Chain A
Amino acid sequence: MDKRIEMIQNQLSGNSDFIIRKIEVNLGRVYLLFLNTICDNNFISDSIIKSIIENKDDIKDTEQIKDKIITHTDINYIYSLDEALTYILTGNTIIMFSFSKDILYCSTRKIEERSIEIPPSETVIKGPREGFTESIKTNISLIRRRVVNSSLKCEELLLGEDTITKIAIIYIEGNAPKSLVSQVKRRITSINHKYVQESNYIGECLQDKPSVFDTIGYTEKPDDLVAKIQGGKIGIIVDGDPFAITVPFFFIENFHSPSDHSLNRYIANYFRLIRWVGMAISLLLPAIYIALTTYHFNLIPPLFVFRLAIARAGVPFPIYLEILLMMFFFQILREASLRLPQSIAQTISIVGALILGDTAVKSGLASTISILLVALTSLSAFLAPSIFGSISIWTDILIIFASLLGLPGFFVGFLLFLSHIASLTSCGYPYLYPIGTKDKVQYKDRILRPKINNLPDSINNEDEMQ
């Protein structure tokens, strides 16, 4: 056997799906090397093997095989064995010859993939329902279907020494600021992970500063990604992950819903305000409750003071511990519901909520008002699911501040929270935009949704930004 083939065989030894197919032809032997688990075996049989066998007596050279015998759009020469190995590992078929040093590759990749489904993390009331899949090819096609414009650029890169993951940087030339495009490209190409499995491997490298808040956006919906790249943002798709990245990402976007643009403007804005209120409740309510019920009784109406005192009578723990404990229980419940299969998860959440809440009160471990407060806080946090974790952590921080110093402590904690999010940037853009910055960006979809006529808006005002 050819030494070159032996070398590849050695490299891929131990892989039962590695196939070497030999075909005798008039000039010698043709070798097909491929991994049958990630290749389209029917295509190899019908379009490569069959074509070569049918012409086995008339083969003159490799050029003829490439151009006239194998009729495939994606077939070409490669020039090293390392390259050949990579092509095999990514689902291509390598064609080698005993009578020539040439090596051909033919794209035969076929990986079983999910069909296009409704994205579970971004359900909409009205509007497009299709979501990205794990296939980068499908995902790009979903975007191209929506943007029929030569300015749409889709630059592909390979990342990950061992995973050789395909990354696509998608933007609209002219809409996306040039400096942003070059910055994103520079940062992505500087990633030297051995493995790039999913979008967060890229996302973490695009974070400007360590924080519990993601300063990059994730979306599972092609229409959402398209709306963002039309506004001058950059989309990044990673092969194998249905979540696309969008940069820059602003804090206010956590309160936007994919169906905002599909719904009546006033209704969409009403729900946006509810999401803001929900965030405020989940972040501030427990801390305010603790500050008022442990330090500032005089700020609570008298009848409510008595009610609160009665409700808490006999609870052995201090209020702050009681709240932290109940919030911890809720997090346990949430984690259990998330990790378990959906059918069991529903039962667990119902049983857990009922049993935990009811028995906690009956056993004197918690008061009814604390249960109500924790339930309200947790439900409110779900209104902006993308920042659920971040807000939960800051809620706990504010609780600690409020239990140490009452309302002044609460204000200190809240000030720290504001300072923190105001200090964050997303690819150089202020994360808290339009709050707390004098920078002007033509980005109109802020707290309230503007008229559709004013959309898509743009972040492209880079002279003022930089």
Chain B
Amino acid sequence: MKKKITIIFLICLITLTGCFGYRDIDKALFCTAIIIDVDENENVLLYTELFHSYRSKEDNSETGTRIVLTSKGKTLFEAIRDQNKSASYKINYEQNKVIIFTKRAAEYGIDNFIDYLNRDQELLLRQYIMIFEGSPEDLIKLKIKQEEYIGLFIYDLLRNEITKDFADVYQVFEYLNDRHFGQAISVMSIIRIKEETIQEDLIIEGSGIIKDGKMIEKMEGKDAASHSAIVGKESIKIINIPNPMNKESDLILEMIDSNLSTNMIYKDNQIILKKDFDIRASLAESQKPIIFEDPKIQKEVEKLAEKEFEKMCMETFEKYKKKGLDVFRIKEMMLRKYPNIDIENPIRITDLKISVNMKLEGSSDVIGFKK
């Protein structure tokens, strides 16, 4: 019996392994970033950034180089096949870090490409996806000092804790889920080339709202942070309030940690969405003197910060409520909590109630600031 079980187990292991193929690590071109664009005739224009390792014939040393391949096809698959025609080794997408849709491609429809991105075994579901505002040629030719590879630079950028505070970091699997939930609205970061700097650089600025697979509008950076806080992805990290001791100057608070509890109540054709934030913050900067150790001042700062936080969230919420865009995933929440009630666009009948409990946890060693 034991032998039979072992044999069955071994057969299962061998036969249920999927379609793997032996390939030496140096016999592949590793893709780090894919940029998808469309032309006027709706052909797919594909730009891939690749890593190629080789042994230099000049100095007989091993080295690696960055290669950019471009191709065109009626579909994404055709474009990828076309690209392999000019590759010395098979292009491997397992190390691809980011899939970038140009704004034009996003407006044309991400759903036109998503099937292949999901179906292909090498393209992993954990890749980041985002939208690029600008010309894909400019992006692929961009020379960033921080990192030679744009794909790796964006990967590091999106994993940077500070970036996460203001960007809607989005991965393929999230998009594949979101397009089936609620109003099929997704919010993903927009990236652009920073022109106002001495050196060429990339910057995340705002987010693209994707509805039914197409980008319909851009969400500004300020709203993107509030949106992240309301949906519970990341909290607003910086709050700018007037200094209680000098109303004309600013006091910057940095949020250290936040907990969000959400509750939804549907009553009398009205939805009440309750978001209770429990936030720990610290004083980051004061433009003018403040006696921070004074409990009264601290209390006042807390109140002002709570108010500001609430205001930021409410403004963003009301903005999209007016537009009827359910970027806060209210329909999904409704369906989870009240599966028998189907409301076409629940954000229109939703009131957001925000409660913020801000606790100031001091500052650095500099607790006060006097003239």
Contact = CB atoms under 8 A, between A and B. Distances in A.
A295 B22 CA distance: 6
Contacts of A387: none
Most buried by A among B22, B51, B152: B22
Given A306-B64, A310-B62, A419-B6, A412 B13 contact: yes
B92 interface: yes
Contacts of B4: none
Interface in A287-302: 293-298, 302
B10 A415 contact: yes
A313 B95 contact: no
Interface stretch (A127-135, A256-264, A401-409): A401-409
Interface stretch (A103-111, A268-276, A314-322): A314-322
Nearest to B23: A294
Contact of A293 (B25, B152, B155): B25
B282 to A, nearest CB: 33
Contacts of B285: none
Given A405-B20, A412-B10, A412-B13, A309 B124 contact: no
A77 interface: no
A411 interface: yes
A203 to B, nearest CB: 28
B116 interface: no
A318 B26 CA distance: 10
Contact of B63 (A297, A298, A310, A315): A310
A299 to B, nearest CB: 9
Contacts of A405: 14, 17, 20
Interface string B4-28: 0010011001101100111111101
Nearest to A419: B6
Contact of B97 (A293, A295, A296, A302): A302
A308 B64 CA distance: 10
A405 to B, nearest CB: 6
A85 interface: no
Contacts of A305: 25, 30, 95
B14 A310 contact: no
B53 interface: yes
B247 interface: no
A221 interface: no
B64 A297 contact: no
B53 A312 contact: yes
Interface residues of A, number: 32
B30 A313 contact: no
B54 interface: yes
A160 interface: no
A297 B62 contact: no
Contact of A298 (B17, B64, B94): B94
A364 interface: yes
B62 A314 contact: yes
A311 B54 CA distance: 9
Most buried by B among A305, A403, A415: A305
B13 A309 contact: no
A312 B24 CA distance: 9
B55 interface: yes
B14 A412 contact: yes
B32 interface: yes
B53 A309 contact: yes
Interface in A342-376: 364, 367
B30 to A, nearest CB: 6
Contacts of B25: 293-294, 297, 305, 308-309, 312, 319
B54 A314 contact: yes
Interface string A327-341: 000000000000000
Interface in B135-193: 152, 155
Contact of B62 (A298, A311, A408): A311
Given A306-B51, A310-B62, A294 B22 contact: yes
Contacts of A318: 22, 24
Contact of B20 (A315, A319, A406): A406
Interface string A65-103: 000000000000000000000000000000000000000
Contacts of B20: 295-296, 405-406, 408
Contact of A408 (B6, B13, B51): B13
Interface in B21-70: 21-26, 28, 30, 32, 51, 53-55, 62-64
B23 A313 contact: no
Contacts of A403: 22
Nearest to B17: A408
Interface string A393-418: 00000000001011011011001100
Contacts of A297: 25, 28, 30, 92, 94-95
Contacts of A303: 152
Nearest to A317: B24
Contacts of A319: 24-25
Contacts of A296: 20, 94
Contact of A415 (B9, B16, B17, B55): B9
A310 B66 CA distance: 12
Given A298-B124, A302-B155, A305-B95, A313 B13 contact: no
A416 B9 CA distance: 11
A409 B22 CA distance: 12
Nearest to A289: B25
Contacts of B51: 306, 309
Contacts of B124: 298
Contacts of B94: 296-298
A419 B3 CA distance: 10
Contacts of B28: 297, 309
A437 to B, nearest CB: 14
Contacts of B14: 405, 408-409, 412
A220 to B, nearest CB: 38
Given A297-B30, A309-B25, 8 more contacts: A296-B20, A302-B32, A302-B97, A310-B64, A315-B26, A367-B62, A405-B14, A408-B16
Interface of A: 293-298, 302-303, 305-306, 308-315, 318-319, 364, 367, 403, 405-406, 408-409, 411-412, 415-416, 419
9 contacts: A297-B94, A298-B124, A303-B152, A311-B62, A312-B53, A313-B53, A319-B24, A409-B17, A411-B13
Interface of B: 6, 9-10, 13-14, 16-17, 20-26, 28, 30, 32, 51, 53-55, 62-64, 92, 94-95, 97, 122, 124, 152, 155
**What 5 pairs between A and B have smallest CB-CB spacing?**
A314-B55, A298-B94, A309-B53, A408-B17, A312-B26
